Structure 1
Amino acid sequence: MVTPFPSSPTYKRRNDHHNLSAPENEKKTKKTPPPLPSLPNELIIEILSRLPAKSLIQFRCVSKSFKSLISDPEFIKTHLEKVKTLSKSHHPDFSQTIVISSSEPLFKLKSCSVHSVCNNPETDVVILDDYSLKDTYSYDWVVGSCDGLLCLGIEQDFVVLWNPTTRIFNRLPDLRFSKKSGSYTVFGFGYDSRVDDYKALAIFCFCTKSVHGGSRYVNRIKVCSLKDRHWRRVDDFEYGIPYDVSGKHVNGNLCWPVIPEGGSMESMWSIVAFDLAEETFKEVVQPEYGEGVYDRVLGVLQEWLCVMCNYLGVRADVWVMKEYGVGDSWTKMFSIPYLDDPVRFHYSVPLCIFSGGEVLLEYNSVFVIYNPKDGNFRYPIMNGASSCLEADLYIQSLVSPMVDCHE
Structure 2
Amino acid sequence: MGMKLSSLRCPPRSAVVAVSLPPDVVFDILSWLPLKSLCRFRCVSREWRALISNPAFFAAHKTRSEPLIAANSFSDLTTLRLIDMDGKVVKVIKTKDHIFSFVCASSDNIICVLGHSLRQARVINLATGEILVTSIRGTFIGFGRATPSGVYKMVCISTRCCRILTIGDGTGWRQKQSPPPKGISYHSNPVTVNGMLYFASQIHGDSVLCFDLESEEWKRGIRGPPNVEPERCYITLGELNSTLCMMQPEVDNGFTIIWLLTNADKGTWFKLYTIPLDPSTYDRMIPLRMLLDGGKLLFYVTDDSMKLPVLQIFAPQHRTCSDAPKILAGDHGGSIGLCSSR
From 137, 152, 167, the equivalent of 1:226 is 167
Residue identity in the other structure for 1:360: L
Q: Is 1:97 aligned to 2:68, yes or no?
A: yes
- Extract unaligned runs of 5+ from structure 2: 1-18, 33-56, 304-308
C-alpha distance 198-45 of structure 1, shift in aligned 2 (>3 A): farther
In structure 1, the partner of 2:276 is: 337
From 219, 223, 241, the equivalent of 1:285 is 223
Partners of 2:317 and 2:103 in 1: how far apart?
A: 33
Residue identity in the other structure for 2:103: V
Partners of 2:30 and 2:130 in 1: how far apart?
A: 22
C-alpha distance 255-46 of structure 1, shift in aligned 2 (>3 A): farther
Larger Rg: 1
Q: Is 1:320 aligned to 2:260, yes or no?
A: yes
Residue 303 (structure 1) shift: 1.1
Residue 294 (structure 1) shift: 4.3
CA RMSD for the aligned pairs?
3.8
Residue 289 (structure 1) shift: 3.6
Q: Is 1:380 aligned to 2:320, yes or no?
A: no
From 391, 402, 405, the equivalent of 2:336 is 391
Aligned length, in residue pairs: 285
Residue identity in the other structure for 2:112: C
Q: Is 1:201 aligned to 2:155, yes or no?
A: yes
In structure 1, the partner of 2:194 is: 251
Identity %: 21
C-alpha distance 277-105 of structure 1, shift in aligned 2 (>3 A): closer
Q: Is the 8 A contact 1:101 1:142 kept in 2?
A: no
- Extract unaligned runs of 5+ from structure 1: 1-38, 53-85, 117-122, 178-183, 206-217, 261-266, 398-407
Q: Is the 8 A contact 2:196 2:211 kept in 1?
A: yes
Greater relative contact order, per chain length (Cα 8 Å cut-off, separation 6+)? 1
Partners of 2:168 and 2:63 in 1: how far apart?
A: 34
In structure 2, the partner of 1:112 is: 83
What aligned pairs does 1:169-188 form with structure 2 within 5 A after superposition? 169-171=131-133, 174=135, 184-188=138-142
In structure 2, the partner of 1:73 is: none
Partners of 1:336 and 1:277 in 2: how far apart?
A: 35
C-alpha distance 154-235 of structure 1, shift in aligned 2 (>3 A): farther
In structure 1, the partner of 2:285 is: 348
Q: Is 1:358 aligned to 2:296, yes or no?
A: yes
Per-residue Cα deviation, 1:88-128 (whole angstroms, up to 9, x for no partner)? x97244421111253236575333212x1xxxxxx466884
Q: Is the 8 A contact 2:188 2:237 kept in 1?
A: no
Q: Which moved more, 1:234-243 or 1:354-363?
A: 234-243
Q: Is 1:143 aligned to 2:75, yes or no?
A: no
Q: Helix, strand or coil for the counterpart of 2:235?
A: strand
Q: Is the 8 A contact 1:161 1:170 kept in 2?
A: yes
Q: What TM-score does the superposition give when structure 1 sets the normalisation length?
A: 0.59
Q: Is 1:162 aligned to 2:162, yes or no?
A: no
Partners of 1:126 and 1:40 in 2: how far apart?
A: 33
Q: Is the 8 A contact 1:125 1:382 kept in 2?
A: no
Partners of 1:41 and 1:232 in 2: how far apart?
A: 49
Partners of 1:142 and 1:349 in 2: how far apart?
A: 12
From 192, 208, 226, the equivalent of 2:146 is 192
Per-residue Cα deviation, 1:333-378 (whole angstroms, up to 9, x for no partner)? 121113xx54131561321111121111123432111111222333
Per-residue Cα deviation, 1:291-343 (whole angstroms, up to 9, x for no partner)? 89744221111111111111114211110102444412x100121113xx541
What aligned pairs does 1:63-102 form with structure 2 within 5 A after superposition? 91-102=62-73
From 300, 314, 327, the equivalent of 1:370 is 314
In structure 2, the partner of 1:152 is: 113
Q: What TM-score does the superposition give when structure 2 sets the normalisation length?
A: 0.69
Q: Is the 8 A contact 2:235 2:248 kept in 1?
A: yes
